[in-house]
């Protein structure tokens, strides 16, 4: 299908002899926000790490605009605009905010547009402009998540994956980052895959979602369908 901007088919992943993902299938249209939700240890993070080239699939297909990219290196994924914001932020604590952001502009195209992208980021997060010369390790958790998100955007993503961005953060900070992400997706056509344990928050901003349990996708549908699904309500929404 032409509208499958990013597509994963029959993805199987092993860590050594232990299989952790079984026949994962999902897709995202251009400009869509897709939520991948489920409990801790379900296989959500492994899914996006594989989709970012950090983990090599045992078998299966990963396509970007119809082109197979599963066998590519992590560098090739980044150069094609497939960017992952990792769980836990993983900033360079001993480097400044500005230096951390610069690290995100690693592809040839991103380097060329680095100054313009930086200016755009500072309009989204004025606080980062104020603190651009401050060491990243001295920032609050919320400010560090802003840096992590912005570092991802410095790479000029066409597909942005966010792994557990709300973990340990105050709701208003998460809402701000999600609101900016949603605005970018709407305005620029950026495709976002959001991995979250906070199912309610993820489905609130997503167009569609997939539920992962024990390394398999067990449910899929529009965000509204999943929000109203009796199994999702019982398992994840406390209803």
Q: What is the pLDDT of residues 79-107, one digit of tens each?
A: 889 999 988 778 999 999 999 999 999 99
233 lies in some domain: yes
Number of separate domains in the chain: 1
Does residue 152 form part of some domain? Answer: no
* Mean confidence (pLDDT) of the chain: 93
Judge whether 181 and 159 are in contact, CB under 8 Å: no
Question: pTM for the whole thing?
Answer: 0.93
Q: Check: CB of residue 29 under 8 Å from CB of residue 4.
A: yes
What are the tens digits of pLDDT across the range 19-66?
A: 999 999 999 999 999 999 998 889 999 999 999 999 999 999 999 999
79 occurs within a structural domain: no
Give dist(CA 120, CA 118) in Å, integer: 5
Please check whether residue 148 lies inside any domain of the structure: no
What's the burial of 79, exposed, middle or buried (CB within 10 Å: 0-12/13-18/19+)?
middle
Confidence (pLDDT) at 125: 94
- Spatial contact of 221 and 229, defined as CB atoms under 8 Å apart: yes
- What is the extent of the structural domain holding 230? 1-70+160-169+195-239
The CATH number covering residue 1 comes to 3.40.50.300
Q: How far is CA 21 from CA 44, 45, 107, in A?
A: 9, 11, 30
pLDDT of residue 235: 87
Task: Tell me whether residue 129 is in a domain.
Answer: no
Q: How confident is the model at residue 239 (pLDDT cuts 50, 70, 90)?
A: low
In this prediction, residue 59 carries a pLDDT of 96
Q: What's the per-residue H, E or C state across the chain?
A: CCCCCEEEEEEEEEECCEEEEEEEEEEECCCCEEEEECCCCCCHHHHHHHHCCCCCCCEEEEEECCEECCCCCHHHHHHCCEEEECCCCCCCCCCEHHHHHHHHCCCHHHHHCHHHHHHHHHHHCHHHHHCCCCEHHHCCHHHHHHHHHHHHHHCCCCEEEEECCCCCCCHHHHHHHHHHHHHHHHHHCCEEEEEECCHHHHHHHCCEEEEEECCEEEEEEEHHHHHCCHHHHHHHCCC
Tokens of 39: 């409990």
């Amino acid at each position: 299908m032409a509208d499958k901007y990013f597509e994963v088919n029959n993805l199987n992943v092993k860590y050594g002899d232990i299989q952790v993902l079984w026949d994962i299938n999902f897709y995202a249209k251009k400009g869509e926000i897709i939520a991948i939700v489920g409990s801790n240890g379900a296989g959500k993070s492994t899914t996006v790490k594989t989709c970012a080239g950090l983990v090599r699939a045992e078998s299966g297909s990963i396509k970007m605009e119809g082109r197979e990219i599963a066998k590519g290196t992590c560098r090739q994924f980044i150069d094609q605009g497939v960017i992952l914001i990792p769980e836990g932020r993983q900033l360079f604590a001993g480097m400044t905010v500005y230096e951390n952001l610069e690290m995100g502009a690693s592809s040839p195209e991103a380097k060329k547009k680095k100054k313009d992208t930086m200016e755009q980021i500072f309009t989204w997060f004025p606080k980062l402009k104020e603190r651009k010369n401050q060491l990243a390790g001295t920032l609050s958790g919320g400010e560090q998540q802003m840096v992590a998100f912005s570092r991802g955007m410095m790479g000029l993503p066409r597909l942005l994956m966010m792994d557990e961005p709300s973990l340990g953060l105050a709701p208003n900070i998460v809402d701000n980052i999600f609101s900016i992400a949603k605005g970018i997706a709407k305005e620029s056509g950026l495709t976002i895959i959001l991995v979250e344990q906070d199912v309610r928050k993820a489905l609130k901003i997503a167009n569609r979602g997939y539920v992962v349990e024990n390394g398999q996708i067990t449910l899929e549908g529009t965000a509204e369908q999943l929000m109203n699904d009796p199994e999702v309500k019982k398992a994840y929404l406390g209803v």
